Amino acid sequence: MSVETTSAATLAATLLGPLYPREHLARHAELAATDANPGNNPAFAAAMQETSRVFSRLAGPALGRDDLELDESDASVLRLSDALTRDARDRLLRERGPDGAPLLAHVVVHAVAYLGSCVVRRHGGAWRFRDPLWESRVALRSRAGDGELSILSWLLRALSDDEVGRGTLAERYRRYVEVPCTDPAALQPFLPVGRALPRLKRPRYDTLHRYLKAHLPELRDVGEHFPSPERLVELEFEWLDFVVLGDGRMLLMHGPASSGVHLMWLDAAGFVKSAYYPADAFPAHVVKVQDADRIALVRSLLGKELVEELLWWGP
């Protein structure tokens, strides 16, 4: 297989295709939709946990990271994501296991159990077992709603040419697990609610500093990761609006920039995260508070109105 054209679909066919029994391939769609453990046999969960433990022990040497610490914590997902480099992927595609399959196939199959176990043990997820087990999903109930996480799809996409080496496995885990399961009540309120916050026109670092001092003196520092003065100039904001969220727990700055809409979330310590969405210059985007947990970004893209729902503490 040419590693220069390794898509998620190619990986699925090359890595996993030979592992399926022939009768499974003929019934793949049916099996993918069927509960493989309707009797709730605890042996299924025990098998996944044991597979996760094996992966924790062997993943580091396999990926060329002997110091890789995998303890089923959220932080360990970031470490694993960083270890999924192009060099490691290509080497494991070339090397073969005792069964003749690429070693990468074994890494992927075991990683499904590991990542699923992180969600189950840390965030109250529940396995939705399938046959074969590597196609199992994890059901998760959170403030974002109820859903099923396709861990296998996350891994294959993270190892594809489009994403390998970019840390997208950690991004998906953060977006679909960590952020929805965050307890926003743990954030300390620091801003008053209901204060009028006028629009800042033609933002620059100096005008933003004066604005915050005049209208939001409780925010003592924008934080070390806030865009630098030079970066703020590069973004070419037309204006910035300010919204106090979560009963004073977070401040959202948002505005149209040179190529779309930028949103920045700050808490009492300053900058927390940001998000960018491409958008038309006209009509202007709007941020609306939907309910106690959600905000909505309404924007136009190529003449079509789009609505992006977000938890108020960010994506």
How far does the chain reach from its first CA to its final CA, in angstroms? Answer: 36
Q: pTM for this structure? A: 0.82
As a whole number of angstroms, the longest Cα–Cα distance in the chain is: 70
- Which segments in the chain show pLDDT lower than 70? 1-5
| 113 sits in which H/E element | helix 103-123
| 264 sits in which H/E element | strand 260-267
Q: Do 237 and 262 form a contact (C-beta atoms < 8 A)?
A: yes
Predicted local confidence at residue 174, as pLDDT = 94
Q: Which two tokens stand for residue 256?
A: 């149209």
Residue 4: count of CB within 10 angstroms of its CB:
7
Predicted local confidence at residue 19, as pLDDT = 85
pLDDT digits (tens, 9 = 90+) for 88-137: 999 999 999 888 889 999 999 999 999 999 999 999 999 999 999 999 99
Domain ranges of the chain: 3-181, 188-311
